[in-house]
Amino acid sequence: MITIADLKKSFGETIACDIPSLTINDGDILGLVGNNGAGKTTLFRMMLDLLKPDAGEVAIDGVNPAESEGWKASTGAYIDEGFLIDFLTPEEYFAFIGKITNMTQEAVDERLKDFERLAGGEIFGQKKLIRNLSAGNKQKVGIMSALFNRPKLVILDEPFNFLDPSSQNILKHELTEYNRETGATILISSHNLQHTVDISTRITLLEKGKIIKDMSNENGSARAELENYFDQDVE
């Protein structure tokens, strides 16, 4: 379980996060939606102890990430390309991840078979450094690295960006199946309303750092309310 209490972060005069209370239950697929500047990435960065809040705290299973390293072993995240070691090939990168988690190369190779559909034959065996991959394939490497150690908490910022429609659909399937098989909690932020509604069991809508809606999304029930909100922005 993740709990947030009185969490605040500002950049100058701009309020990036102001969340009095939020609880994310184990096994939720929570879609975090909002326009640019709503505070989605800022919230994720504070959850991962990459950004210090001005006040308040995040707790993962009762532990503040800023005060312990234990949560890292059970958390997988991909926020941006800064999470990658881009002077390695994908093969070298996953071998490195395996080595630091005491996996044999055989175990690494076996684990990578889980991602064959998502990789689409475009990532492995190409003799390319990660930095020379397309934006979409870099995104796939980042997502695969977040899921690689089968964490119980997955945090993905804009995971559908740069992916072609087929890859987006494969990713939706992979995330929902991963949640079903493991019971993992999955947090995604996205500008893509359709994909977020398709896979999320719960939707949290942010505006200027504040939660303005937190709703169940059983059978896509949040879709109409979200479409109405974003349509108002267009008018």
Report how many domains make up the chain. 1
Host H or E run for residue 75: strand 75-78
The token duo for 207 is: 């505006």
Instruction: Give the pLDDT confidence of 198-209 residue by residue, as tens digits.
Output: 999 999 999 999
Instruction: Give Cα separations from 12 to 15, 54, 157 (angstroms).
Output: 8, 12, 24
Q: Which residues of 81-103 are buried (b: 16+ CB within 10 A; e: fewer)?
A: eebbeeebbbbebbbebbeeeeb
pLDDT for the residue numbered 191:
81
Instruction: Give the pLDDT confidence of 58-114 residue by residue, as tens digits.
Output: 999 999 999 998 899 999 999 999 999 999 999 999 999 999 999 999 999 999 999
Q: Is the dihedral of CA 87, 96, 178, 124 positive or negative?
A: positive
Secondary structure of residue 142 in the 3-state scheme: helix
Cα–Cα distance between 176 and 187 in angstroms, integer?
Answer: 12
pLDDT for the residue numbered 234:
46
Cα–Cα distance between 180 and 5 in angstroms, integer?
Answer: 29
Look up the CATH number of the domain holding residue 193.
3.40.50.300
Threshold 0.75, pTM exceeds: yes
Instruction: Provide the residue range defining the domain that includes 150.
Output: 2-234
Nearest in space to 85 (alpha carbons), one of 121, 133, 41, 14: 133
Full pLDDT tens readout for the chain, 235 residues: 999 999 999 999 999 999 999 999 999 999 999 998 899 999 999 999 999 999 999 999 999 999 998 899 999 999 999 999 999 999 999 999 999 999 999 999 999 999 999 999 999 999 999 999 999 999 999 999 999 999 999 999 999 999 999 999 999 999 999 999 999 999 999 888 899 999 999 999 999 999 999 999 998 999 999 988 888 754 4
